[in-house]
Amino acid sequence: MIAGNWKMNHGAADAADFFKKLKGEVSTTPKNVEVLVCAPFTSLAASVDAAKGIKTIHVGAQNMHFEASGAYTGEVSAEMLKETGCSHVLVGHSERRQYFAETDETVNLKTKKALTEGIVPVVCVGELLEERKADKHFDVVTTQVEAAFKDVSAKDAATIVIAYEPVWAIGTGEVATPEQAQEMHAHIRSVLGKLYDTGVADTIRILYGGSMKPSNAPELLGQKDVDGGLIGGASLKADSFNELIQAAEKASS
């Protein structure tokens, strides 16, 4: 899976323009790669509309509330997301954890709510630089994964997508080495194997995120446990996003 996270970029008009360009770029529909674009709330409906005609493209949101409705000023529910036609939602992105007080507990509530509503959660985990320096990265990510999957059935768990995004690699140009990514992805899979079983652990897709771009994607996507990418900066332009889709298609064949 190649997933773009536009963050706070691309309003509705820009979104429509992006998909128009992407349709022009993608000469052959990817066979083995699922493509996801996570757009800002106000661009979701326009994105769903503009993405029609590209079979394997999904549109997702970047956040949601875990309640169905109520006095939560400024928030958007899973039910509202469904109405826009989007199918996925990012949960627990490090920027939400850092700037908007997202906790392991709210990540779990949102994950369960998305599953109940039939929206695929893309659960984001990853350690801070100081945690890696202190050699705590495996423990930090273990805790995040265990918390996110708390009280989630094996059947539901198998549908979840995980994104491992080391915070020190996000928007910094500093990318995890393929070995660092592979090591953490294998670790996450072993945590999932213990929570469920190896069948479920092998089914769950684990994406890498953090300064992924066309030049470093082939090596990262070539790792055994790297099932795709969650891309910020390089997902904003249709041409570089398409290059990433093509790199994933190549890696999967």
Residue of 54, 209, 195 lying closest to 122 (CA atoms) = 209
Q: How is residue 42 annotated by DSSP?
A: G
The 3-class SS string of 206-242 reads EEEECCCCCCCHHHHHCCCCCCCEEECHHHCCHHHHH
Nearer to ligand 13P, 50 or 212 (CB): 212
CB of 150 to ligand 13P, least distance (A): 23
Question: Could you tell me which residues come within 8 angstroms of residue 217 by beta carbon, excluding any fewer than 6 positions away?
Answer: 229, 243, 244, 247, 248
CB of 177 to ligand 13P, least distance (A): 15
Positions that interact with ligand 13P (CB under 6 A): 5, 93, 165, 170-171, 209-212, 230-234
Nearer to ligand 13P, 132 or 196 (CB): 132
* C-alpha dihedral sign at 130, 134, 139, 141: positive
Q: Burial level of 51, CB count in 10 A (0-12/13-18/19+)?
A: buried
Of residues 10, 93, 137, 185, which has the active-site annotation?
93
CB of 170 to ligand 13P, least distance (A): 4
Q: If residue 162 lies in a helix (H) or strand (E), which one and from where to where?
A: strand 161-164
174/11 Cα distance (integer angstroms):
28
Does 187 qualify as catalytic in the annotation?
no
Of residues 102, 127, 165, 243, which has the active-site annotation?
165
Nearer to ligand 13P, 77 or 211 (CB): 211
Nearer to ligand 13P, 37 or 192 (CB): 37
Nearer to ligand 13P, 93 or 196 (CB): 93
CB of 216 to ligand 13P, least distance (A): 10
CB of 51 to ligand 13P, least distance (A): 19
CB of 196 to ligand 13P, least distance (A): 25
Alpha-helical runs (H) found in the chain: 12-25, 44-51, 78-84, 94-99, 104-116, 129-133, 137-148, 154-157, 178-195, 198-203, 217-221, 238-252
Residue of minimal Cβ distance to ligand 13P? 232
Does 243 qualify as catalytic in the annotation?
no
- In the block, tokens 């039939």 appear at 118
Cα–Cα–Cα angle for 88, 172, 231, rounded to 5 degrees: 25
Nearer to ligand 13P, 204 or 217 (CB): 217
Question: Could you tell me which residues come within 8 angstroms of residue 249 by beta carbon, excluding any fewer than 6 positions away?
Answer: 30, 31, 32, 33
Active-site residues: which are they? 93, 165
